[in-house]
Amino acid sequence: MIISTEGQRADTDVKGAILTMLQDKIGPQKFNAWFKHGTVLNLEDGLVRISVPNPFVANWIETHYQGDISDAANTATGTPHSVVVAIDPSLCDRLHKRQLDIQADMVAKATQGRSRQYQPARNNVLRHRLEDFVMGQSNKMAYSAALALAGGKANFNPLFVYGPCGVGKTHLLQGICNSLSRMSRDGRPLTWRYVTGEQFTNEFIASIRQKRASEFRPRYRGLDLLAIDDVHFLAAKRATQDEFLHTFNAIQSAGNQIVMASDAHPRLVGDLNEQLVSRFVAGMVVKIDQPDQATRMEILRRFARRMNMQVGDDVLEYVALHIRASVRDLEGAMIKLSALAAVSGGTVTLEITREALAEYLSRADSAITLGDIEAVTSVYFGITPADMHSSRRTRTVSVARMVAMYLARRHTRMSFPEIGKSMGKNHSSVVLAVQKLQEIINGGGELDWMSPAGLKAMPAAKVVELLNEQIA
């Protein structure tokens, strides 16, 4: 973990205390894997800002360690702190190959449900509220559906929201849950549960091993609302899918609601039970795209207010024009400007912004990012983004990595070296992967890979076409 050297010595000491407490809480192995290299911590105005190299690490830290970071900051400072995770691609250089492999191993263990003991999910107040969501053309339908559901006016079940990383899927799910926290039915508070697909999987497996399934099932099947984020995590897990199918049926049969979010359309989630797919698409399936210009401007204004930044509209318009991918990318740019403002005495001009964000903008100016491509591709092939960043060379990982590199060259402005650096590979590996896949497509060849159900094969052109539709 790199600590920003800006500010007073006391501030540096506080950051050191935060890191020490975080390492004590999660253990040195996890701390070294996710925080020791390639991340930057800044502490300012009631926020802990964590900059990370790619969307995968951002998602993992938000899902697994956001509460631990916040607790450590609160203890170290004596005041409440929120945690913001932003992506800074320039940090890719700091990641070590061994670290990437350890991350992949940890994700694999979590996927298999071996990393946690059974813990009932708790209905704590979540971070996001619907009132704070910025609506625009890219998310209007999803936001309207969330409002209808939160207001008890929905005539669809389930609601399935999908889209690339960092566009607001988690915000909507948590916002719905927080809205239900203030509601009641027949004189009793509504019951809800927000979990990730990984948490559901780990709880279920732990309950079986500990012979506590009789406690696990009522906690889910009797809910007024179940919200599951990253539901694609259930792919290729037959027993967990069967359990979730029974949970789904029980909740829906009782007239209660299910909300889900995924990086991909349910029909493009690899190795997902067809019975689940049919139930998912029977409700409302809605995509959230990258925010449009007007939405990006409003998001930037809100970030500026929250960070107490004095920034002119010309600066915000410049950032909104050049960063078109995700809310996380916008937030990452504002964090850089916030640090710049602290150094320059609070004034950030357009000229300074151009210079300060030149490298960042060169990597993030595409409406489609490498993170989007990795997310969709890994879901389709039933692996994790961590696998593609690792040194693993199994058939499935190699094919998925080749496809992701090919799509990155087609949909982003990243060079071969930039793609390689971001994915932990060298320049020549990316060149060879793109050339090989293009030759397979030109020759009408197939891609084959191993799934839990056995060998799968499909024309390479068809695979690319399906994924193009997903990320476009």
Q: What is the CATH number of the domain that holds 464?
A: 1.10.1750.10
Domain harbouring 162, CATH code: 3.40.50.300
The pLDDT of residue 126 is: 84
User: How far is 293 from 320, CA to CA, in rounded Å?
Assistant: 6
- Predicted pLDDT at 79: 83
CATH assignment at residue 314: 1.10.8.60
Task: Examine residue 105 and state whether it is found in any structural domain, yes or no.
Answer: no
Look at residue 356 and tell me if it is in a domain: yes
pLDDT tens track for 62-114: 878 888 898 898 888 888 877 878 777 777 777 777 777 778 777 776 655 44
Residues 91 and 180 grouped into a single domain:
no
- Give pLDDT, residue 361: 63
Residues 83 and 139 occupy one common structural domain: no
> How high is the mean pLDDT in each 10-residue block of the chain (472 residues)?
50 82 89 85 77 81 85 87 76 74 75 47 72 93 95 91 90 94 85 92 90 91 94 88 95 95 90 91 93 92 84 89 81 79 72 76 62 86 85 89 93 85 85 94 92 82 89 73
Q: How far apart are CA 226 and CA 248, in angstroms?
A: 9
Question: Residue 367 is encoded by which pair of tokens?
Answer: 């409406």
CA distances from 185 to 158, 181, 239 (A): 20, 11, 33
End-to-end Cα, the chain, rounded Å: 35
Are residue 447 and residue 357 in the same domain, yes or no? Answer: no
- Is the same domain home to 346 and 207? no
Domain boundary among 257, 287, 317: 287
CATH of residue 50's domain is 3.30.300.180
Q: Rounded to whole angstroms, how far apart are CA atoms 192 and 258?
A: 10
- State the Cα–Cα distance between residues 177 and 225, nearest whole angstrom: 8
- Same domain for 36 and 182? no
* pLDDT of amino acid 362: 55
Which tokens is 94 given? 């700091």
Listed in order, strand segments (DSSP E) in 24-176 are 40-44, 47-52, 82-87, 159-162
Residues 210, 324 within the same domain: no
Total count of domains within the chain: 4
Q: Are residues 160 and 283 in the same domain?
A: yes
Does residue 414 contact residue 361 with C-beta atoms inside 8 Å?
no
Contact 118, 73 (CB under 8 A): no
Determine the Cα–Cα distance for residues 88 and 232; give it in Å rounded to an integer: 26
Does residue 149 sit in the same domain as residue 272?
yes
Residue 271, domain member (yes or no): yes
pLDDT of 60? 84
pLDDT of residue 5: 41
- How many Cα atoms within 13 Å fall on the side-chain side of residue 196? 16
DSSP string, 375-394: HHHHHHHT--HHHHHSS---
Same domain, 135 and 270: yes
Structure token digits, residue 273: 């039970």
450 and 386 within one domain: yes
In a domain, 89, yes or no: yes
Question: And the tokens for 285?
Answer: 């399936």
Angle, helix 313-322 to helix 293-306, in steps of 10 degrees: 130
Give domain status of residue 392, yes or no. Answer: yes
pLDDT value of position 114: 42
pLDDT at 45: 64
What are the structure tokens assigned to 383, written together? 């692996």
Residue 114 lies in a domain: no
Out of 271, 287, 303, a domain closes at 287
| The pLDDT value given to residue 348 | 79
Whole-number pLDDT of residue 112: 55
Domain final residue pick, 317, 334, 364: 364
Query: Which class for 425: exposed (0-12), middle (13-18), buried (19 or more C-beta within 10 A)?
Result: buried
Residues 283 and 186 in one domain: yes
pTM, to two decimals: 0.73
Residue 111 lies in a domain: no
Does 25 reside within a domain?
Answer: yes
Sorted by sequence, the CB contacts under 8 Å of residue 99 that are 6+ apart come out as 32, 33, 36, 37, 38
Q: Can you list the alpha helix ranges (DSSP code H) found in 45-139?
A: 55-64, 66-77, 97-111
Within this chain, do residues 63 and 192 fall inside the same structural domain, yes or no? no
Q: Which domain holds residue 461?
A: 370-471
